[in-house]
């Protein structure tokens, strides 16, 4: 038991050191963030994926084909471009004479990427990217979201899902592609898609909610260590790391978890009405092909296939908002993340956070 006490003291010292460094770095970062008025939060970066794919193809052609073959291909492609431009010109003239629809307008695709962690930090960039897209996109365009997330905090993924609702509320088609995983909070986002695509072995599902934390009350009691919580409100604190676990506290947390689970189920059923919600909302996961059999996804293919298919007929743009972070902020974030991982490893997840 002496070893346990010594180890506990070591952990306490280590946490104190890490948190102290984090506080100092945070203060430095705060000072560095006092930027001039009007300074940009970040920058939007736009990449035309068509050009990237064409570049890959042209490099391969140049390495494999001889000059005569290359010349013939270039000649054929120039004819196609000339014919397409001629068609567009005729369509424009026709529309000026009274046609209701301008067929010369080419559908555009806007590609976004969301790499989710427990706190759904990527939502900070997602909200800016969607704001940029909505400033010019029409219902004739389409948004493709490449989504990867194992889930995390309910409130964080609720906000991320709300960003996707902004696209749907503008009647802009939304395709979501999952290559690896869209589980729990990740699936909360994914089920908003007008077309949900998953790779054959992508992990889909985990429609459930959990709360977990270690409790050291009996250890403290054994060594006559008092732990007091002063709060107002009957359920301001239910289960904590050091307080006594009571049936009343457990029952309240269980009630909260079940309520959130029901809301989660209702959300999925609203946006995926074809699913048998009670059979899939068990916390289980399935690979893409199994999820399709349960109507949890619409098609089995990779995001690469979706993007390349779009490039064959339309202009495709990848939109990425890069948040501007000074060196001090990057250092503070690194220390904060390290401290969070250390504390989570030792003490589990906070009783304030409910995870999906």
* Active-site hit among 125, 149, 161, 184: 184
Task: Quote the strand ranges of the chain, DSSP E.
Answer: 42-48, 108-115, 142-148, 174-178, 181-183, 195-198, 203-205, 285-287, 299-300, 315-323
3-state secondary structure of 19: helix
Q: How far apart are CA 340 and CA 80, in angstroms?
A: 57
Based on the residue annotation, tell me whether 330 is a catalytic residue of this protein.
Answer: no
* Active-site hit among 67, 101, 236, 279: 236
Q: How far apart are CA 133 and CA 142, in angstroms?
A: 10
What is the 3-state composition of the chain as percent helix, strand, coil, each rounded to the nearest 5?
50, 15, 35
Q: Give me the phi and psi of 185, to 5 degrees please.
A: -60, -30
Structure tokens belonging to residue 250: 């457990």
Q: How far apart are CA 65 and CA 171, in angstroms?
A: 45
Q: What is the DSSP string of 237-269?
A: -SS-SSSPP-HHHHHHHHHHHHHHHHHHHHHHH
Structure tokens belonging to residue 153: 């905090």
Q: How far apart are CA 35 and CA 248, in angstroms?
A: 49
3-state secondary structure of 320: strand
Based on the residue annotation, tell me whether 89 is a catalytic residue of this protein.
Answer: no
Q: How far apart are CA 193 and CA 188, in angstroms?
A: 10
Q: Is 201 within 8 Å of 168 (Cβ atoms)? A: no
Would you give the distance in Å from CA 177 to the centre of its chain?
11
Q: Is 44 within 8 Å of 132 (Cβ atoms)? A: yes
Q: Which residues are identified as catalytic?
A: 184, 236
């Amino acid at each position: 038991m002496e070893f346990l006490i010594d180890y506990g003291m070591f952990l306490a010292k280590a946490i104190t050191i890490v948190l102290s460094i984090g506080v100092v770095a945070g203060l430095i970062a705060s000072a560095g963030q006092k930027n001039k008025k009007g300074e940009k939060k970040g920058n939007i970066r736009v990449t035309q994926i068509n050009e990237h794919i064409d570049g890959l193809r042209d490099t391969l052609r140049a390495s494999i084909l001889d000059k005569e073959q290359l010349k013939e291909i270039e000649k054929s492609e120039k004819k196609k471009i000339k014919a397409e431009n001629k068609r567009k010109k005729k369509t424009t003239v026709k529309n000026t004479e009274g046609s209701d629809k301008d067929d010369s307008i080419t559908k555009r695709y806007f590609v976004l990427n969301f790499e989710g962690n427990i706190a759904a930090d990527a939502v900070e960039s997602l909200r800016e990217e969607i704001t940029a897209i909505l400033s010019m996109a029409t219902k004739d365009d389409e948004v493709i979201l490449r989504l990867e997330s194992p889930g995390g905090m309910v409130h964080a993924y609720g906000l991320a899902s709300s960003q996707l609702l902004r696209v749907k509320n503008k009647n802009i088609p939304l395709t979501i592609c999952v290559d690896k995983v869209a589980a729990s909070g990740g699936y909360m986002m994914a089920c908003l898609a007008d077309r949900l695509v998953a790779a054959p072995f992508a992990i889909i599902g985990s429609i459930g909610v959990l709360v977990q934390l270690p409790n050291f009350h009996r250890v403290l009691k054994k060594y006559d260590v008092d732990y007091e919580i002063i709060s107002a409100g009957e359920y301001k604190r239910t289960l904590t790391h050091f307080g006594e676990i009571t049936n009343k506290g457990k029952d309240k947390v269980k009630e909260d978890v079940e309520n959130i689970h029901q809301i989660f189920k209702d959300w999925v059923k609203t946006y995926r009405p074809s699913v048998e919600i009670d059979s899939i909302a068990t916390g289980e996961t399935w690979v893409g092909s199994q999820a399709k059999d349960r109507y949890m996804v619409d098609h089995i293919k990779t995001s690469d296939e979706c993007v390349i298919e779009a490039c064959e007929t339309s202009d495709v743009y990848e939109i990425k908002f890069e948040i501007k972070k000074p060196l001090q902020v990057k250092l503070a974030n690194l220390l904060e993340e390290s401290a969070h991982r250390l504390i989570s490893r030792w003490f589990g997840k906070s009783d304030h956070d409910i995870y999906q």
